[in-house]
Structures are given as structure tokens and as C-alpha cells.
Amino acid sequence: MKNKSDVPELFGNSKKNNSYVKVCAPMVRYSKVQFRTLVKNYGVDLCFTPMVLADSFCQNGKARASEFATTITDSPLIVQFAANNVDDFVDASTLVYPYADGVDLNCGCPQRWAMKDGYGCALLSKPQIIQDIVKGVRNSLPDTFSVSVKVRLLKEIKKTIEICRQLEKCGITFLTVHGRTPDQNSAGIVDTGALKDICEIIKIPVIANGGVKTLGDADNLHAATNCNGVMAASGLLANPALFSGANRTPLSCVKQWMSMKDKDSDRISFQCYHHHLVFMLDKVLSKQEKQIFNLLNTFESVDEFLYKHVFESLDGGHIDFKYNLDEFVVCEFSDEITLKHSKKCRACGKSMYYCICCKYDPNSKDGSFFNMYIKDRDELDYMDSNIFDESV
């Protein structure tokens, strides 16, 4: 049976200890259950799933299987959905209710495809839709189920504060604010002043997001804003032990990642396994070693490389892990909900799942991940169909 957590209590206990909740961001293709389990061993208190398109989740069984998996101890867990209408969000939330501790509405994705279809930041100009979505969940599911929203700053801080106030009034559990505007990239300066103003005015817990690459960055963001939680994205990819204070990925972390694949190989693709190691080892491998590692295309060749090159040079000792990849939960989703949703995309006539994801083959083995990625990008907590494209 799936364990459940009390999200408000998590924030309350953190405040009593004069601390803050440490949060793993919703990163598309990366915030899977294996990675969530990993980072919880290094100080993460609250995890998000990758951002999931609510309509695709309701429409297609393959989308549900690909985008959502959990274990009996994968808690506290927030499922983040992108939606542009009440029905999709409420139905998707109802489907995951037995297996999660809350849902989150993405109002921060600045990608053009999302804006065009009325997702993400596009909702910031339609606060009534946001309120209707939140109220729809509140009227459909128990009050103990967390409902939250993730937003970006608007150019006018007064408008941002007003939206945050409206969200607070309609009953959200907590709020996440990315400290940059939709037109800023990851190089943009995080507006800690605006975040501080929001944290002072809004009475519900506020998670601050943006620019967190080290534990020092997280501590400084908390001190500057008096936020209730700090969220990290690309910083955690590069170093899953970020919140523990480690300055790079410890050996123990790499070993646990390897053990997760060994324990349940049919639930983690080679691509996911390899990509995470690409991020983790960026500060460890030499340029020449990266070129070799980049072209490896089997579990066996990757593990052989790690034992030969990494464990001799990477510092860190053995630890007993509190969280391991426990028994997976068999998720059963209501036919009454799934059957009422159309399976066809408005544009191409195919399932929305294939419409969005056909641009990315999760089992591709074309390599070049070091050359194409390894940039500091906070946008990783948003959907980006070109995440491994050099032009992004």
C-alpha cells in the first residue's frame, strides 16, 4: 500500500526548526521515481514528478505508464500537470490521487509551444482559469490532498503579488515562485527582492526557485527571501547530493544509482540511466573521458567504464541508504475518467502523447550528450522538447 504524507505538516515542522523544505524540481524526463529516491538520501524533503500534460495523461495508457511510476515509500510526492482547462486537470488529479500527496499546476513554463496552446506562463494572463482549476480540485478531492501552483514573476511585481493573493484565497496549499520573468533565461538574475516581497505578503508556504547550484546558494536564497522552501533543478542533476553540502557527486551516490538499475532494470531505460550519469560526472571526467563515455550504449559498457575510471578518482565513502527503490505500486486508473477523454490531438489527429513525444526518442543511442548539453539551464524544470539540441 502506498505511503501518504501530510504536506502542510512538512512545512510546519521545517518552520519550527528554523529551516526550510528542500525540494527537487519537476524536470521533464529526469524527475522519475529512481532519481527521486536517490536525492531523498541526500537531504531532499519533497519531490515533484516531471511536468505531465494533463490531457495526454487522461487520454493515453502509454502516456500514463511512461510519465508516472511510484513505489510504496515514494512520498511526499507532488505530481505536476500542465493544463489549460478545469476538466483535464481535475480528472488527471483524480487519477493520481491514490498514489500521490498532491498535485501542482504549471503556470511557469515559458516555452513557445506551451504558450501557444495556453499552458504554463500563458495562464498568468488568465487568472480566472487558474482559480477555476484550483477550486475544481478542491471541490472534487479531500482537503488533505495538497494543491499547489508554480508561477514565474511578471514584469510588474504588483501584478505577481495580486495573482499570488488570488491563488491563496482560492485554497492552494503552497506556492512555488521562480524568481525570473518568462522572457528571462537561466542566465538572468534571480529577483530575490520580488521573492522576498511575495514571501512577506503571502501567508501560505512559498517555495523559491532559481539559480540554486550549491547548498550555499540554497541557504542564501532562504536567508534573502525568508521563503519556506527552496527548489533546485539543474543543480540537482549535476549533483544529486547538493542539499547535503557535497560540492560534487559522491561515490556513494553513483553506486546507488547503479544499484537501482540492477534491482529493477525493466523500469529504467538505458537512456535515462546514461543521461543522469552524464550530468553527475560532468565535474569528474576529463574532456577525453567524456568523449569516450559519451559514445557508450549499453548498461554493461557504462558500468565497466565507471569501475575503471570513476571509482578510483571520485571521493566519497559508503553510506547506508535510508531510501531504496522499494516495491513498485501497481497503479489502477478509473475507466470512467479515461474513456471519456478523446484520444486525438486537435492538430495532427494522433494521441497528444505521440504528438508531443515523437520529437524525442527515449531509447535513442545517438550519443553526443556531453557535447549537446552540459550547460547551466534552470529551464530543466519545464518541458523542453529540444533539451538535447545545441541550438536551445
pLDDT digits (tens, 9 = 90+) for 361-372: 444 444 444 443
Minimum mean pLDDT range among 68-72, 181-185, 197-201, 282-286:
181-185
Task: Dump pLDDT digits (tens) for 304-355.
Answer: 999 988 887 665 555 678 888 878 999 999 888 888 886 555 554 444 444 4
Minimum mean pLDDT range among 77-86, 249-258, 285-294, 383-392:
383-392
Is the per-residue pLDDT at 150 higher than 60?
yes
Question: What's the pLDDT at 119?
Answer: 83
Question: What's the pLDDT at 263?
Answer: 63
> Mean pLDDT throughout 233-252?
94
> Mean pLDDT throughout 256-274?
80
DSSP state letter for 12: H
Minimum mean pLDDT range among 58-62, 231-235, 277-281, 340-344:
340-344
> Mean pLDDT throughout 152-164?
91
Question: What's the pLDDT at 345?
Answer: 52
Q: pLDDT grade, residue 264 (50/70/90)?
A: low
| DSSP alpha helix (H) spans, 202-269 | 215-225, 234-238, 251-263
> Mean pLDDT throughout 187-198?
90
Average pLDDT of the chain is: 84
Question: What's the pLDDT at 376?
Answer: 42
DSSP state letter for 352: H
Express as a percent the part of the chain with pLDDT over 70. 83
Q: In a 3-state reduction of DSSP, which class is residue 96?
A: helix
Non-local CB neighbours of 28 within 8 Å, separated by 6+ positions: 50, 51, 380, 382, 383, 384, 387
Is the per-residue pLDDT at 356 higher than 50?
no
Q: How far apart are CA 25 and CA 214, in angstroms?
A: 14
Is the per-residue pLDDT at 24 higher than 80?
yes
| Residue at grid coordinates 527515449 | 362
Q: How far apart are CA 56 and CA 88, in angstroms?
A: 9
The residue among 171, 255, 212 whose CA lies nearest residue 22 is: 212
> Mean pLDDT throughout 182-202?
87
Q: pLDDT grade, residue 296 (50/70/90)?
A: very high
Task: Dump pLDDT digits (tens) for 12-21.
Answer: 998 888 899 9
* Amino acid letter, residue 207: I
Buried b (16+ CB within 10 A) or exposed e, 84-113: bebbbbbbbbbbbbebbbbbbbbbbbbbee
Is the per-residue pLDDT at 292 higher than 50?
yes
Q: pLDDT grade, residue 79 (50/70/90)?
A: very high
* Amino acid letter, residue 1: M
Q: pLDDT grade, residue 94 (50/70/90)?
A: very high
* pLDDT top residue among 159 and 390: 159
Minimum mean pLDDT range among 46-55, 96-105, 364-373:
364-373
| DSSP alpha helix (H) spans, 239-387 | 251-263, 270-280, 287-294, 299-305, 335-338, 352-357, 369-372
* pLDDT top residue among 390 and 335: 335
> Mean pLDDT throughout 146-153?
95
Enzyme catalytic residues: 109
Question: What's the pLDDT at 182?
Answer: 78
* pLDDT top residue among 321 and 302: 302
What residues does 53 pair with on adjacent strands?
82
